[in-house]
């Protein structure tokens, strides 16, 4: 009994002593560039909360005109007014964008192209992590539909404006979970439920495959593209039950804050001299390793073709 107590005490003291360094380890890299971006135009999807909001805040602080594109315009407005007050930059705007509905994506792009003659940075930040078997308005499996197809269409619709504004950048949020992903070509419409909730991982792999393919296709246009793993962040993804919440609170001490989670996106959006690394994957503000599946050019090409078909677009 005493031995167990002793053991427990040592484990807890060890944890207590080492926690701050473990915490620091998980905090990861910091975006060190001091580049200012006055007058540059930025679109960030899902920037009403979490990492997207912190990314928007920092870009606004550096002088950009920032469009927060999100589904819930009221939440977007409250984030925008907080950022405006915080950064003294009045150029923080909110526009409606529902990535689970291609009509909404087209309406957003049309409105944006009508009001802005330039676009320098597009950050495909929004993401859903759904374990249930749901579908988008257009009938796509929801994780793939929002995280991949929605951003695919958005990027397609805005690419000309990016090219006209070159040098310009497209930053995509992927995730380390892509290592568990696989592209199931015959299941894009969610014909069969994915097992074990891996749909999110599949969609994150799709994001990476697109990095490769897009980078190839836009080579020489002055637009470059980067994929980002933000780290494991204390965001809103897992707050459902009380128990989960309690566990999450304890556990989340070790996770990145949203500000820390925004660093790699900022690095890819801002750091100078990153152009030769177009198409690559970054984590903790450094280039990092992707799974062999994410390096498969043939799957990347096929995914590109199938995505165009599903969306009814011609993207050569
Ligand atoms: C970003 O995602 C879009 C849509 O999925 C894709 O077209 C593009 O290639 C991706 N870029 C990166 C760097 O992942
Ligand atoms: C895949 O594409 C990359 C980038 O264009 C290229 O460097 C690589 O050699 C290709 N891999 C294969 C197996 O063709
Ligand atoms: C994708 O489409 C292009 C053009 O239609 C075609 O040449 C290519 O073979 C297709 N790639 C795959 C892997 O399906």
Residues forming a β-bridge with 123: 44, 171
Could you give the CA distance from residue 38 to residue 144 in angstroms, rounded to a whole number?
Answer: 35
CATH of domain 36-311: 3.40.50.720
How far, in Å, is the centroid of ligand 2 from the Cα of 1?
Answer: 61
> Tens of pLDDT along 112-137?
999 999 999 999 998 877 767 788 99
> Tens of pLDDT along 232-248?
776 655 544 455 566 66
User: DSSP assignment, residue 281?
Assistant: E
Give the contacts of 189 (CB within 8 A, at least 6 positions apart). Answer: 135, 139, 140, 141
177 lines ligand 3 (CB under 6 A): no
Name the residue of 188, 225, 297 whose CB sits within 8 Å of the most ligand 1 atoms, as the mutation to test its pocket. Answer: 225
Among 100-109, 113-122, 176-185, 255-264, which stretch is predicted with the lowest mean pLDDT? 176-185
pLDDT number for residue 307: 92
Length of the chain as a residue count: 316
How far separated are the first and last CA of the chain, in Å rounded?
71
302 lines ligand 3 (CB under 6 A): yes
Give the contacts of 133 (CB within 8 A, at least 6 positions apart). Answer: 141, 190, 193, 194
Query: Of all protein residues, whose CA lies closest to atom 3 belonging to ligand 2?
Result: 297
Among 127-141, 152-166, 192-206, which stretch is predicted with the lowest mean pLDDT? 192-206
User: Cβ(129)–Cβ(193) under 8 Å?
Assistant: no
Residue 291 or 285, more confident: 285
How far, in Å, is the centroid of ligand 1 from the Cα of 151?
Answer: 7
Which whole-number Å values give the CA distances from 298 to 196, 222, 293, 295, in the listed order?
A: 27, 25, 10, 9
Residues with CB under 6 A from ligand 1: 124, 148, 151-152, 155, 170, 172, 207, 210-211, 214, 225-227
For residue 300, the ligand closest to its alpha carbon is 3
Could you give the CA distance from residue 113 to residue 107 in angstroms, rounded to a whole number?
Answer: 10
Could you give the CA distance from residue 1 to residue 53 in angstroms, rounded to a whole number?
Answer: 50
Indicate the average pLDDT of the chain.
85
pLDDT number for residue 240: 47
How far, in Å, is the centroid of ligand 1 from the Cα of 171?
Answer: 8
Read off the pTM.
0.85
% of the chain residues with pLDDT over 90: 48
For residue 301, the ligand closest to its alpha carbon is 3
Query: Of all protein residues, whose CA lies closest to atom 6 belonging to ligand 2?
Result: 297
Phi and psi, residue 289, nearest 5°: -80, 135
Give the contacts of 147 (CB within 8 A, at least 6 positions apart). Answer: 126, 127, 128, 200, 203, 204, 206, 207
> Annotated catalytic residue: which of 200, 226, 253, 281?
200
Counting from 1 in the atom list of ligand 3, the atom nearest the Cα of 299 is: 13
Residue 67 or 300, more confident: 67
Could you give the CA distance from residue 270 to residue 63 in angstroms, rounded to a whole number?
Answer: 12
How far, in Å, is the centroid of ligand 1 from the Cα of 303?
Answer: 11
Residues forming a β-bridge with 229: 283
In the annotation, is 200 catalytic? yes
For residue 281, the ligand closest to its alpha carbon is 1
User: Cβ(195)–Cβ(142) under 8 Å?
Assistant: no
Among 78-87, 187-196, 305-314, which stretch is predicted with the lowest mean pLDDT? 187-196
């Amino acid at each position: 009994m005493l031995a167990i107590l002793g053991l427990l005490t040592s484990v807890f003291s060890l944890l207590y002593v080492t926690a701050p360094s473990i915490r620091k380890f998980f905090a990861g890299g910091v975006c060190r560039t001091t580049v200012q971006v006055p007058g540059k135009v930025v679109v960030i999807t899902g920037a009403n909360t979490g990492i997207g909001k912190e990314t928007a805040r920092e870009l606004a602080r550096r002088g950009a005109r920032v469009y927060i594109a999100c589904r819930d315009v009221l939440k977007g407005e409250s984030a925008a007014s907080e950022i405006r007050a915080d950064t003294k930059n009045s150029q923080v705007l909110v526009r409606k964008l529902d990535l689970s509905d291609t009509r909404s994506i087209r309406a957003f792009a049309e409105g944006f192209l009508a009001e802005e003659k330039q676009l320098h940075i597009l950050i495909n930040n929004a993401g859903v992590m759904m374990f249930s078997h749901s579908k988008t308005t257009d009938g796509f499996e929801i994780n793939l539909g929002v995280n991949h197809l929605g951003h695919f269409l958005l990027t397609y619709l805005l690419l000309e404006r990016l090219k006209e504004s070159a040098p310009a950048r497209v930053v995509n949020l992927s995730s380390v979970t892509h290592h568990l992903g696989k592209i199931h070509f015959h299941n894009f419409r969610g014909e069969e439920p994915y097992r074990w909730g891996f749909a999110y991982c599949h969609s994150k792999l799709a994001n990476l495959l697109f990095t490769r393919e897009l980078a190839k296709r836009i080579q020489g246009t002055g637009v470059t593209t980067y994929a980002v793993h933000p780290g494991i962040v204390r965001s809103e993804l897992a707050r459902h039950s009380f128990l989960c919440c309690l566990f999450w609170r304890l556990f989340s001490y070790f996770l990145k804050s949203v500000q820390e989670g925004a660093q790699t996106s900022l690095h890819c959006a801002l750091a100078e001299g990153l152009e030769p690394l177009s198409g690559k994957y970054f984590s903790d503000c450094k280039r990092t390793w992707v799974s062999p599946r994410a390096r498969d050019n043939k799957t990347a090409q096929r995914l590109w073709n199938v995505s165009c078909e599903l969306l009814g677009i011609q993207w050569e």
